[in-house]
Amino acid sequence: MSKSSGRVILTGAGGQLGQTLIGLWPESALSRHELVALTRSDLDIADATAVQSSFAALKPDLIINAAAYTAVDRAESEADAAYAINERGVANLAESSKCPLLHISTDFVFDGMASMPYSEDAATRPLGVYGASKLAGENALLARKSDAMIIRTSWLYSEHGANFVKTMLKLMSERDTLSIVDDQIGSPTSTRSLATVIVSAASKHLNDGHELPTGIFHWSDGAVITWFDFACEIQKQALEAGQLTSRCELIPIPTSDYPTPARRPAYSVMSRRRAFAELDCSATSWQAELTRCLSLRTRP
């Protein structure tokens, strides 16, 4: 039995996933439900009083939390800021909500020492402040809400905001050579792909009257590639689409040649087993998702 139309709060609406969800909403299975899209200027989730007041006034039927501190390297010197949003902000959402909450997390909760895809219940061991703060947020949420769903994702990109794809297109258009790390293995994820999974999970609850799937899920676009591999495919497709007019020489390098304040997991591929088993979702190839994203861009 389907439910009457409801209200969904989206936090972090100004980010690339938030913008994708907003664009997808009118044509999605959730179109008859009101989406209240809140950017950080609308609602700072680190402000417990503001969260409580907002939720009391809006009375949502579902909360999608896409708000996060995602500056991985800067987090090493801004730990308080990272934890304020990624842990305490998530705790605020959990404590003030009277409805299910769907939260987005990251592959950075893992240490990268695995050699096969991480399962949802694999041991976590973050290497830096960003991953540790995101894991703390997961734990804060699960400790406070039994009706919480967490989707971990990786290497997120889109036509919105700042991300690896857009950075590569810009640098490839400006340089003759470009060095790319070739010993970190993971899976790119388009925001459109992730948003589709979110809508699928939410629609079971809002449209079909089922409880929101709870616990931890993993979602990516299924690749097992390096950043260098990803860059090669970006250039290949961009040249074919006429978004790049000349080829840039791409040079594979080890992580040791590109030091950063934060350590990255050397391997962060995640198993999507539970998502395929319990959610009504299907997957296209990671190359097809990249093609779709590039088709929305008119220039580097």
Q: Which residues are catalytic?
A: 130
Residue with tokens 């994702």: 153
Q: Which helix (H) or strand (E) holds 253?
A: strand 249-253
The rounded Cα 114 to chain-centroid distance in angstroms is 21
Determine the Cα–Cα distance for residues 235 and 66; give it in Å rounded to an integer.
Answer: 29
Residue closest to 141 by CA, chosen among 43, 211, 214: 214
Q: CB-side exposure of 26: number of CA atoms within 13 Å?
A: 2
Assess contact for 245 and 56: CB atoms under 8 A: no
Indicate the pairing of strand 148-153 with strand 215-218.
Answer: parallel
Asked if residues 94 and 140 have their Cβ atoms less than 8 Å apart, the reply is yes
Contact between 99 and 60 under an 8 Å Cβ cutoff? The reply is yes
H or E stretch at 293 = helix 286-295
| Dihedral angle, C-alpha 99, 197, 67, 144, nearest 10 ° | 40
